[in-house]
Amino acid sequence: MNKAEYTLEVPTDRFELYRLILEKAVEGPVKVMVAGGVDSGKTTLVNFLLNGLIGEGLKVAVVDSDVGQKSILPPATVSMGFPEGPVRSLSDVYGMYHYFIGTTSPGQYMGEMVVAVSRLTEMASRMADVTLVDTTGFVSGPGSDLKRLKVEAVRPDFLVLLERGNELETLARSVGGHTRVIRLGVSERARRYSPEERRSLRNDKWKTYFRDSRVLEVDLRKIIPTGTAMFQGRELDGREKTLLSRLFDWIIFAGWEFEKYVVVKADAGDPRFPRRGLHAIDFEGLSNLLVGFINEAGLCEALGILKWIRFSDMKAEVLTPLPEDRLSEMTELRFGRIRVLESGEELGLLRREEL
Ligand SMILES: Nc1ncnc2c1ncn2[C@@H]1O[C@H](COP(=O)(O)OP(=O)(O)O)[C@@H](O)[C@H]1O
Ligand SMILES: [Mg+2]
């Protein structure tokens, strides 16, 4: 099921916006960013503009940065694609390049989000007449800062704001010098989705993405694990591990010292909480963790689900649709912050500092 589909039943101001973009495209590549709250009709608007512009024979790129409710697969990344013709839904767009975010909740990943959108938009606008950027519905508080940062990095020709009232006033004022702000109302046809419906839509996406996956053995000496405090600094020796394990009643899988101690452990007895200076990572939190295969260009070639890590010989078992013969092109295995099953079920989010 798709949340947003192509429709011409849009408020008339969308046709005016469309004409503005068309006029601007005569001068050179145009970048358009669409922002607004959850279910404000962002994706529907992007789809409307996309089909029209493609129909005019223009080359159009779509950057999908709505990590909470992606249209273009895979989830938890920012993706970019060049549809060849009109699409019934943005979900039908094939994503050509992806930047790994690793979670569906970008609050703690503002840096990644801004870099992702600005890199992919820049790549897109080198090749496309018009680049359309869809964004998350996270627009209040720090979400507003995230939108401002994206605008400052991308400098779109147009920032289209979809508002129910004038809730985006602050954002509109803070970016006025970097872009032309166009404020439109939310269509009365826009419909709200409950958290359960949103989760179920995400489940479908995960399931579809991991459909043709198999478990690959990844050599973490060749494909470097990143995005975590683990694996950095000096490895703890046997004595240190024994000491910590007795002190806290832990089973210790691995440990490192780099400014502070980082250990991967499971509780053997009652949970005990260490003091500052010791960062304890629960082994269980690593199972079914989302990871990204990153290439030399820093882009994400595929997602994976971490099934097992053997610290003794630095091997990881990762369920992924990435073909095995492409593994040698990967330089990093980046750790995300959501645990998910190939059935599509989400097991929970982790905080950035937990890993
Ligand atoms: N102009 C419209 N006509 C019909 N349905 C619309 C229109 N705008 C939005 N919707 C519907 O409202 C819902 C939310 O729109 P969507 O584009 O997914 O919002 P967003 O991307 O901002 O979360 C979707 O089910 C979509 O089909
Ligand atoms: Mg959307």
3 lines ligand 1 (CB under 6 A): yes
Give the CATH number of the domain where residue 107 resides: 3.40.50.300
Ligand 1 test: best mutation among 9, 44, 64, 187, most atoms within 8 Å of CB? Answer: 44
CA distances from 29 to 25, 121, 124 (A): 6, 11, 10
Is the per-residue pLDDT at 172 higher than 90? yes
- Residue at 2 is within a domain: no
Is the per-residue pLDDT at 206 higher than 90? yes
Q: Are 227 and 171 members of one domain?
A: no
Q: Are 181 and 283 members of one domain?
A: no
Burial of 328 (C-beta count, 10 Å sphere; 0-12/13-18/19+): exposed
Report the side by side order of strands in the sheet with 250-258.
234-235, 250-258, 260-267, 278-282
- Residue at 181 is within a domain: yes
Q: Are 37 and 94 members of one domain?
A: yes
Q: Please give the model's pTM, rounded to 2 decimal places.
A: 0.95
Nearest CA to ligand 1 atom 24: 4
Q: What is the pLDDT of residues 33-76, one digit of tens each?
A: 999 999 999 999 999 999 999 999 999 999 999 998 999 999 99
Q: Are 231 and 306 members of one domain?
A: yes
* Domain-terminating residue out of 190, 209, 228: 209
Q: Are 20 and 146 members of one domain?
A: yes
Nearest CA to ligand 1 atom 26: 4
What is the per-residue pLDDT for 78?
Answer: 98
Q: Are 42 and 161 members of one domain?
A: yes
Domains in the chain, number: 2
Range of the domain at 293: 213-355
The pLDDT of 87-91, averaged and rounded, is 97
CA distances from 270 to 10, 98, 161, 267, 334 (A): 59, 42, 52, 7, 31
Q: Are 166 and 314 members of one domain?
A: no
Give the residue from 343, 65, 81, 94 showing the smallest Cα distance to 205: 343
* Domain-terminating residue out of 151, 181, 209: 209
Ligand 1 test: best mutation among 1, 3, 51, 168, most atoms within 8 Å of CB? Answer: 3
Q: What is the pLDDT of residues 95-134, one digit of tens each?
A: 999 999 999 999 999 999 999 999 999 999 999 999 999 9
Q: Are 140 and 231 members of one domain?
A: no
What is the per-residue pLDDT for 270?
Answer: 82
- Residue at 1 is within a domain: no
- Residue at 7 is within a domain: no
189 lines ligand 1 (CB under 6 A): yes
Long-range contacts of 124-129 (CB under 8 A, 24+ apart): 124/61, 124/63, 124/80, 124/82, 125/29, 125/31, 125/61, 126/29, 127/59, 127/61, 127/82, 128/29, 128/58, 128/59, 128/60, 128/61, 128/82, 129/25, 129/29, 129/30, 129/53, 129/58, 129/59, 129/60
* Domain-terminating residue out of 193, 209, 225: 209
Q: Are 229 and 291 members of one domain?
A: yes
